[in-house]
């Protein structure tokens, strides 16, 4: 992801707080009504952010760019990836983001293609994590009749699955500074690519508009629920 000036990040937090408190009240209420569920939500987001940013770094390294590795970002240690402002947002409004993972496109063999591969790696890793966690989730769900304590297992695992799907879907929105912007750029014909990349500087304002109007939520949650149902057939999304 791209670096964003601090004033834009603060504005993003304010608007995101408005969107979440209007559309996702369970994020805040869960911490008070069931602290363990609230903690599992935070764990899910921290795990998702960590693997998301690590995957950017790893794929960039495999494609020839050691920038992120040299900056200590090719690690699964959350402290290397958590952004102070993003972490504060996570604790106070229930959603956050990590430090942008740097890469130097001039180290890549094919800038257009490889930039898209690095960008899509984050969302792919979130979906992979959701898929892995869905296995014990399904086992706990279907075996709870034999052992009622398993009810708590799938209850605490569901936020991890759900929020990793949210991270994947949200980051694939094709608006800068989200990863989907470069993913779409990599799919465009070469003659359109340069003009499309010139719109990057306007992306944050487009994203803020989508957030404040509620358009992101109207797109994000139906897709997230659909992906959840595909990963876990026969069960609906928990939120």
* Residue 23 clears pLDDT 50, i.e. is over it: no
- Pairwise pLDDT comparison (224 vs 57), residue with the higher score: 57
Catalytic: 191?
no
The token duo for 212 is: 């404040």
DSSP state of 174: S
Q: Quick one: pLDDT at residue 7?
A: 44
**SS3 of 98, please?**
strand
Alpha helices in 80-189 (DSSP H): 84-93, 111-143, 150-171, 179-187
Q: How far apart are CA 184 and CA 131, in angstroms?
A: 24
Number of H helices, E strands in the chain: 11, 0
Contact 163, 48 (CB under 8 A): yes
Span 165-175, pLDDT tens digits: 988 998 999 99
Q: Quick one: pLDDT at residue 146?
A: 80
Global pTM reads 0.84
Average of pLDDT values for 6-33? 52
Contact 181, 200 (CB under 8 A): yes
Instruction: Name the active-site residue from 53, 71, 191, 200.
Output: 53
Please enumerate in sequence order all residues whose Cβ is within 8 A of that of 11, keeping only pairs 6 or more positions apart, or say none.
208
Q: Quick one: pLDDT at residue 102?
A: 93
Q: Quick one: pLDDT at residue 125?
A: 97
**pLDDT interval class at 55 (50, 70, 90):** very high
**pLDDT interval class at 232 (50, 70, 90):** confident
């Amino acid at each position: 992801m791209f670096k964003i000036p601090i004033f834009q990040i603060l504005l993003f937090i304010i608007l995101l707080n408005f969107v979440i408190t209007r559309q996702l009240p369970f994020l805040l209420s869960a911490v008070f009504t069931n602290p363990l569920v609230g903690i599992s939500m935070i764990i899910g987001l921290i795990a998702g952010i960590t693997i998301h940013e690590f995957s950017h770094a790893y794929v960039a390294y495999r494609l020839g760019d050691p920038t992120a590795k040299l900056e200590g970002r090719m690690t699964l240690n959350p402290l290397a990836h958590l952004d102070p402002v993003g972490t504060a947002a996570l604790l106070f409004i229930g959603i956050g983001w990590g430090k942008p993972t740097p890469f130097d496109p001039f180290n890549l063999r094919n800038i257009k293609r490889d930039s898209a591969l690095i960008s899509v790696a984050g969302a792919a890793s979130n979906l992979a994590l959701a898929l892995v966690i869905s296995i014990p989730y399904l086992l706990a769900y279907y075996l709870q009749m034999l052992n009622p304590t398993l009810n708590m297992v799938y209850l605490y695992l569901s936020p991890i699955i759900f929020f990793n799907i949210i991270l994947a879907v949200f980051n694939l929105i094709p608006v800068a500074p989200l990863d989907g912007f470069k993913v779409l750029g990599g799919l465009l014909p070469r003659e359109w690519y340069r003009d499309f990349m010139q719109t990057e500087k306007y992306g944050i304002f487009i994203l803020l508009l989508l957030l404040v109007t509620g358009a992101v939520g109207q797109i994000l949650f139906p897709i997230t629920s659909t992906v959840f149902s595909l990963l876990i057939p026969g069960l609906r999304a928990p939120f």
